[in-house]
Structures are given as structure tokens and as C-alpha cells.
Structure 1
Amino acid sequence: MGVQLERGAVAEVVIDFPPVNAVPAAGWLAIADLVTAAGADPSTRVVVLAAEGRGFCAGVDIKEMQRAADHEVLLAANRGCAAAFAAVYDCPVPVIAAVQGFCLGGGIGLVGNADLIVAAEDATFGLPEVDRGALGAATHLARLVPPQMMRTMVYTCHPVTAADLHRFGTVHKVVPSPLLRDTARAVAGEIAAKDPVVIRRAKEALNGIDPVDVKRSYRFEQGFTFELNLNGAGDRARRKFLEDR
């Protein structure tokens, strides 16, 4: 349980926080640390970011946040998310996200910053932050869907399917769930077979021509989450979310 790193030319970082992969504050920092460690290893050519269980990621651990008497867990989770998303983006080798089941909230931040996405047929992608009294990761959702679709998803909190993202061209492959990890590793193997120096420079070049600074824009979004918590709207929404469950 937690976050594990399996090293190799194709390194795997695996998220495992049962029952739904709602990641605690410390877990986001662990993702950041292990993705960074994988990328720093000169023998690594590709990183596969995957998860155990029925869903890839349910976002932050709302229960952990609500148990806290102050804003320390919120602040830790927000810093942890920023670090994890940045680690995926800044990883000097390509990162392939292997997504099954639900990918929500912070999960969107991870896959939106990945270089490629391979998804199971049952995968869905959503940003339910408005219903949970928070804002953030629209920066990363905008890398997955067209602008008006991104706005619609933020306002309504409705998810889209892996098939939808495949039509948009942002999911590389959609496969049956039992084939997900093998397919991600096969794609990774194809990239890993290329000259590693060229691939690392390609990753650096592609990041350099991005039109949006994803780290700065995400931190801008997070500022509104702080505002919602200061005025009480965030806590009201989280209480309602937990009560409805």
C-alpha cells in the first residue's frame, strides 16, 4: 500500500491507496519523490505511472482533510499535488499514464501532465472539484479536452470516457482492462528502444514549446481554493460530499 517504484529501463511508479486511491497529503509527495527518482536514474528511458485497484485515482483524501482541525492538511495536499504534477511534467523522460476505472481531481493533474495516456475501456475522466468546494487541475484538463468541453466539465462535474478522449486524440490507446499494463509497457518499450539521449532532448524541447506554464497556472487555480476555504464554502461542500456518500 502507498506508492511503489520498480526501477528499470521502463520504470513503473504505482499508486495503491485502497479502497479508491484517494491520495493523502503525504502520498502526493511520495508520487513526486518517486517519479523524480525514476527520471534521475540514467538507466531509465520511460516511466509508466499506474495504479492498483478499480480506479486510477479519486483525487485528494477528503476524509483526511475534514478530520483536520485547521488548514494544515489542505495546505499540505495542495503543495503535494503541485509537486506531483510538476514531477510528472518535469520528468526528463516520457511518462506514460496507464488509467483504469475513475480518474478524478488530482488524477487529472497527473495524466494531464503525462506525455502519453493508455486507458482501459472502463476508464472515465472527471473534475468534480466544484462539488467538493475546490478549484484546480482545469489547467491539466485543458490538455485533454477542447476549451468549451473543459468549461462544461468544470461547471457540471460530469466525466467523459476513455473513448471520448481517444476521439479527441489525447488518449493513445483504449484497451480491455486486463491488457492495460501490458499495453502501457509495450508502448513504453517502443520508446525505450530509441536513442535515450535524443528522447531526453525531445522531452525537454516539447516542454519548452508548451504555450502554457502548467505549474504557474495550476498554482493560480489553487489560490481560489484557499479563498473558498477562508470564506467557508469549501468546508460546506466537503461536508455535503461526505454526507451524501
Structure 2
Amino acid sequence: MPITTQHPQPGIAVVTVDVPPVNALPVRGWFDLADEVTAAGRDPATHVVVLRAEGRGFNAGVDIKEIQRDKSFDALIGVNHGCAAAFSAVYDCAVPVIAAVHGFCLGGGVGLVGNADVVIAADDATFGLPEVDRGALGAATHLARLVPQHLMRALYYTASTIDAHQLHHHGSVYAVVPREELDETALDLARSIAAKDTRVIRAAKQAINGIDPQAVHHSYRFEQGFTFELNLAGVSDSARQAFLEKGA
């Protein structure tokens, strides 16, 4: 299955995304991811969730080919709702979510990581929002949780990437480790959290979310409104098609 949950040790749920070739998720994939993370957090036996991926990179965002194949707006609307659901599932998960990131983390990947509680990254990890090159907007909400405001704007306008060491400098990545040590480092941190009284940790998650200065649900949906405008104007369709033809 593309998205699975395993329990390698008591108290730890590991949600793995494996959608070759680049973990670009279709509509159903985003909802499935939301369901897996939510279910893991609702399980009283789960004290902490690790979100990771197989393959070349952590996440390449949405499946643009699926959107382009759909002559209506159903896929576009579906993927926007799906992304919102997955990002919210990570943020609202009843227990802390550790994102273990390797390779590329783009678009929707930044949405997931920006809403995670802790980020562990491999030394080959890069993060970015290519949205403006695809005729879309979104996840500035989440990139702003990883870097300072003006850097976020520069990265967003230029569709540039930033590496794990730079994010570690800004304090948004907890640790940067060699790729082969990523999973074990994430699990080691998960074990530390899982050893705590889960009643206290679950209360702490609610408390921290409650004092968060960023209303992540509302701000992301606000961003999505401009994506719909660009699609209605025909801007997004031509940008997506140009991207697909360039990669052909």
C-alpha cells in the first residue's frame, strides 16, 4: 500500500509514504495520509508518530499529471481539500508528530513538515515551494513556520530551495544527520517522547497548539483561494502543462 502504519516499538507509530517515483500524492493519497495520521493519534497506545517516506525524497507535492488529466476542476478541488486535510491531520494529531525528511521536500511536503512538531532531516534534504512556477499558491503558511518572514518571501517569490543545514541554523530542524542514520535518529527521539506520561504529552500538544500565533488552518485556506482564481483565469493550466512538457 502507498501509505502504511507500523508500530516498531511500544508507543511509537511510524507512518510511511511510498508512492513512486517521487512521492507526489494524488487526491486519494492526501486523504489516506490524513486518515493514517489521525488514526494513529487516536489510538491510546500511540504516544508519538513518526512521519517518513521511502524512495528518492520525502514528498514532491501534488500529482500534477492527475490534475492535468481532469478536464473539470474536480481533481484540483479534491487535491486542495486533500492537502488541507493532511496538513491539518499532522497539526491536530493528538500526539506529537516527528517528520523524518530526506531528499526533496517540495510543495505539499513543506505543508506536512511545517505543521509537524519536530523535524529531523538527512543531510541531503532540501525544502522549497515551486508553486509560483506551477501557476499556484499555497503553503507559505507552513514555510513561514520554518524560516523568518523575509526569507520566506524570497524563497516563495523565486521558487528557490533551502537545505537542511540552513533550517537547522534557523532552529526549525532539530537535527541534521547522514541519510543512513535518519530513521534511527527519529526513532531515538520518538522513544524519548514515548517514555513520558502520554496523558501529559497529549495535554501539552493541545496547549501548545492553543497558544500558537499562527492560525494555520485559516491562513492556508486563504492562500488556496488565490490558487482557484489563477485556475479560473487559465494561468495555472498553462503553467502546469509547461512543467509536464519540460519533464517529458
Following the alignment from structure 1 to structure 2, what is the Cα–Cα distance between the partners of residues 27 and 182?
26
| 3-state SS of paired residue (1:96) | strand
Tell me which of 193, 197, 205 is aligned to 1:203. 205
Matched residue, 1:222: 224
Aligned twin of 1:40: 42
Indicate the residue corresponding to 1:145 in structure 2: 147
* Partner-residue secondary structure (3-state), 1:38: helix
Q: Which amino acid aligns with 1:81?
A: C
The structural deviation recorded for 1:72 is: 0.4
Structure-to-structure mapping, 1:52-201, within 5 angstroms = 52-201=54-203
Structure 2-normalised TM-score? 0.98
1:55 is displaced (CA, Å) by 0.2
2:172 partner amino acid: T
Unpaired runs of 5+ in structure 2? Answer: none
Distance 1:92 1:33 in 2: 13
How far apart, in 2, do the equivalents of 1:118 and 1:140 lie?
16
Note the residue ranges of structure 1 that are not aligned, 5 or more in a row.
none
Aligned-pair identity in percent equals: 64
Counterpart position of 1:240: 242
How many pairs are equivalent?
245
Instruction: Write the deviation string for residues 175-226 of structure 1: whole angstroms up to 9, x where unpaired.
Output: 0001101110000100111111111111000000011110010000000010
- 2:22 maps to amino acid: V
CA distance in 1 between partners of 2:73 and 2:17 (Å): 25
Give how far 1:165 is off. Answer: 0.2
Deviation at 1:136, TM superposition (A): 0.4
What is the deviation of 1:141? 0.3
Paired with 2:54 and 2:179, the residues of 1 have a C-alpha distance of: 12
Match of residue 3 from structure 2: 3
CA distance in 2, matches of 1:15, 1:73: 20
Q: Which runs of 4+ in 1 moved over 6 A?
A: none
Q: Deviation of residue 46 (structure 1)?
A: 0.3
Coordinate RMSD, CA, aligned: 0.7
| Separation (CA, whole Å) in 1 of partners of 2:181 and 2:206 | 30
Between the aligned partners of 2:117 and 2:45, the Cα distance in structure 1 is 19
